[in-house]
Chain A
Amino acid sequence: MTRDTCPYAETPDATGDEVHWVKPELVAEIGFTE
């Protein structure tokens, strides 16, 4: 399910780390606190 480029219209700011892009097939529900 990998691909070479960001699957979205806008590429988020990279932090210098290599990003592994994937086809946008999986949805995650994330709980978080601030």
Chain B
Amino acid sequence: MVDGFRPVTLQETLNIRSQYNCTPIAGGTDLMVQKARGFALKPGFEQPLLFIGHLPELQKIVIKNNQIHIGSGLLLTDLLNSEIIPEIFKEAVRLMASPPSRNLASIGGNICNASPAGDTLPYLYAVDAKLVLKSVRSERLVSIGEFITGPKQTALGQDELLTEIIIPNKIFNVNYYKKVGQRKGMSLTKAVFLGMTDIKNDNLTDIRIAFGSVSPKIVRSREIERTIVGKPTFEMITAIPEILAKYALLIRPIDDARSTAVYRKKVSLRLLEDFLRKIDKEK
């Protein structure tokens, strides 16, 4: 039996991927925990591992055509050290796990883990990130929303590899990010809210709103966002009840070991309200 592969190049990696059923692994901060058996035993992986964290092709971060291309093998720490990653995205990354985990965990891993509580996801949904999926036979571009099909479920083909994440090289005027955890550090998310907006001449020209941990997938509604865009900022306060009511229908959290459905829903809507009130104050 083959325990694992450690290819040297991306091309070699894709070849292996096309020939074997295997599990790509970068830092392993999610996979090693999910497959742990305890008792100092090796984790119980059903398939051979394909080590990709070291591949040089996955370590680049560049701006092309006003888009930021992020290699999927980049560590969370690399994102924090980068000068071109937008600050609000860094804020999300900074509140993830602990420094040792951030020195191991890759951005690609956090996306492919497809957790409803994945901390990079609200931002990626909000900016409609595009993912590059490569295989020996093809290369395709899918949006983050298409890629994640459910909790722990993705559209990644058996021979494909997530190689790159593409986000716009853009910073919004107003940025709001709040992760609610059980404690201040090293905590999984009870609920997370991200809001970004552009304001020109007292009018909202763009708005992005995303909620995490409160639904099987990240909640983002372009439809509701479209109804807000174009409004003057001074009308935000009066629009709040209607906007909250619309999002309330989409937020369907659960009770679990970390929090309650009631709290998650309330806190999400309160964060949204707080964000909308802040817009009202922006001129």
> Is chain B a partner of chain A in the same complex?
no
A-binding residues in B (CB < 8 A): none
- Chain A residues with CB under 8 Å of chain B are none
